[in-house]
Structure 1
Amino acid sequence: MIGCFDSGHGGLTILRALRARLPDRRFIYLGDHANAPYGDRPSAEVLALTAAAADWLFRQDARLVVLACNTATAVALRHLQQHWLPQSGWRARGCNILGIVAPTVEAATLTPWGIGIPTEAGAVREGLVAVFATTRTVQTDVYGEEIAKRCPRMRIVQQACPGLAGAIERGAPAAEIDRLVGRDVHALLAATGGVAPDHVILGCTHYPLVEAVFRSHLPAGCRILSQPALVAASLADYLARHPYYAGAAGDADAQLHTTGACGLVGERLAALLPDFLAGAGFRPAVLA
């Protein structure tokens, strides 16, 4: 079984793409709605909450956990992989954790993640990449650093979007979402001097839920990189090379769990993704 984790609803955009790409795999989803959103939390809290979520998913028999949250990936993934997994004993039991930044950087730079220096093509690749993300993800500069390593001539402009993930999470009115997205796109274009980005990264998994609103404010011709599709393709490739983590084939089952109020979370899911997992309900989860 494959675990999928986010602070709230955003990771369901990733889960939806994973299930479409891997229909014969079983998934278990955990949304930490009681503590969402993570984007404005201190790094130490994000790390502790993410570790607790991974531990919970492994205890439900997941072999692999995908951090379907850019903030959790940017802040916690390296520590979890290098320190927490071996210290907790989960690595010895054959478990692993992956994030969602690497597939996105690979797509933006056309460079495999393992190549941390410019390739011949990367050294001459140019263009403007816009990153919209939470405050904490922007502060880590993970997208700026990793893209610059591979394509030093590319220009990266990052825009923090305070309050946007939270507004999406609570089902804010369309007018409020439009105002917040418009504010952030205007601020980014002011930073670029009005130059339209060549590529746009929606660096929070909540943002694909309002991708149409971003498109309405961005200049025509901007290419939005679809993080859910990129992550799904990357995981399919990873499982082809590491079939152990795929687990036994199933019936495209997906269990949904939340640390929040199950009924309220389910209502918001129905409003945000009415055609996704129709009739599926959330079950309670308590993190240690």
Structure 2
Amino acid sequence: MIGVFDSGHGGLTVLRALVRELPDRAFVYLGDHAHAPYGDRAPDDIYQLTLASLERLFAQGCRLVVVACNTAAAIGLRRLQQTWLPRAHPDRRVIGVLVPMVEAITGMPWQATVEAGRHRGEPRTIAVFATRHTVESGAFVHEIGKRAPEITVVQQACPALVPLIEGAAPAEAVRAAVRGYAAELMQRLGGVVPDAALLGCTHYPLAQPCFTEALPGVEILSQPDITARSLAAYLRRHPDLDAIGARPVRFYTTGSAERVSLMASRFYGETVTFRGLAPVRPGNAPYRAAS
């Protein structure tokens, strides 16, 4: 099985794209709704919560987990991959949504050296809309700049957007927030129109029409679709981690299963039913489904 983890509903946009791209695979989804949103939490708290959720998915039989939360991927994924995973679960793999986007934007593989990345292509400007922690981590700026220094990355934190989307706010409220964030970014660009905009949070695809409206003529990069294509390629390179054998997706949440199930259909595109998991903090195993 392949696990998909997010702090809340947002990862369902990625999961839906993964299921479309890989319909003959088995998936398990875990949303840590009890501790969402991650965007306002301390970095070490994000790391520990992510680690606890990965343990839960491994306990479900997942050998590969996609971290579909940009904040978790930007803050803690490299540390998890380099220190915790080789020691605790050497036969498991964890990948994130940041890598596919960087590769798609730069046209360079993630493993490329700094020197290999210093080819001079056409100068471009990429806008990144993300949570405060993702912006403050500088992950997109650093990784894109390392591989394609001719690309200018301009970031815009959107702190109100996830609460609005998670809370099923009226469409006009979401539209107004997106317009405001787009206007802030355009003001800092001094009239330069970006070549493309990356929606660096898995919640934001639900507001993609608002970004298209606020940034006319700007290509909006689809993180779920790019991530799905990247996972398919990854599985071709690592057949030992594959999970061929389609079965119904299993959905888990650390929040209220009933409430989450009612809201999740907006993100997934069809009715889904979540099972509850007790909101256990790291170190408080075992992880069992709540009755």
Provide the TM-score with structure 2 as the length reference: 0.93
Q: Which whole-Å CA distance do the structure 2 matches of 1:169 and 1:245 have between them?
A: 32
Give 1:1-288 correspondences, 5 Å limit: 1-87=1-87, 89-91=88-90, 94-117=91-114, 119=116, 122-218=119-215, 220-247=216-243, 249-270=244-265, 272-273=266-267, 275-276=269-270, 278=271, 280-286=272-278, 287=280, 288=284
Q: Which whole-Å CA distance do the structure 1 matches of 2:99 and 2:224 have between them?
A: 12
**Structure 1: gaps spanning 5 or more residues:** none
Alignment check: 8 A CA contact 1:128 1:154 kept: yes
1:118–1:205 CA distance, 2 compared to 1 (3 A): farther
Q: 1:253: how far off?
A: 2.3
What is the DSSP-based 3-state SS (H/G/I as helix, E as strand, rest coil) of the residue aligned with 1:123? coil
Alignment check: 8 A CA contact 1:10 1:206 kept: yes
Q: Which whole-Å CA distance do the structure 1 matches of 2:106 and 2:194 have between them?
A: 14
Alignment check: 8 A CA contact 2:117 2:148 kept: no
Alignment check: 8 A CA contact 1:108 1:199 kept: no
Provide the residue aligned with 2:287 in structure 1.
none
Provide the residue aligned with 2:289 in structure 1.
none
Q: Which whole-Å CA distance do the structure 1 matches of 2:234 and 2:117 have between them?
A: 25
What is the DSSP-based 3-state SS (H/G/I as helix, E as strand, rest coil) of the residue aligned with 2:220? strand
Q: 1:236: how far off?
A: 0.4
What is the CA deviation profile of residues 92-144 of structure 1, one whole-angstrom value per residue up to 9, with x for unaligned ones? xx111001111101111111111132547842331110000000000000000
Q: 1:146: how far off?
A: 0.7
Alignment check: 8 A CA contact 1:125 1:151 kept: no
The amino acid across from 2:258 in the alignment is: G
Aligned-residue Cα RMSD (Å) equals 1.4
Provide the TM-score with structure 1 as the length reference: 0.94
What is the DSSP-based 3-state SS (H/G/I as helix, E as strand, rest coil) of the residue aligned with 1:115? coil
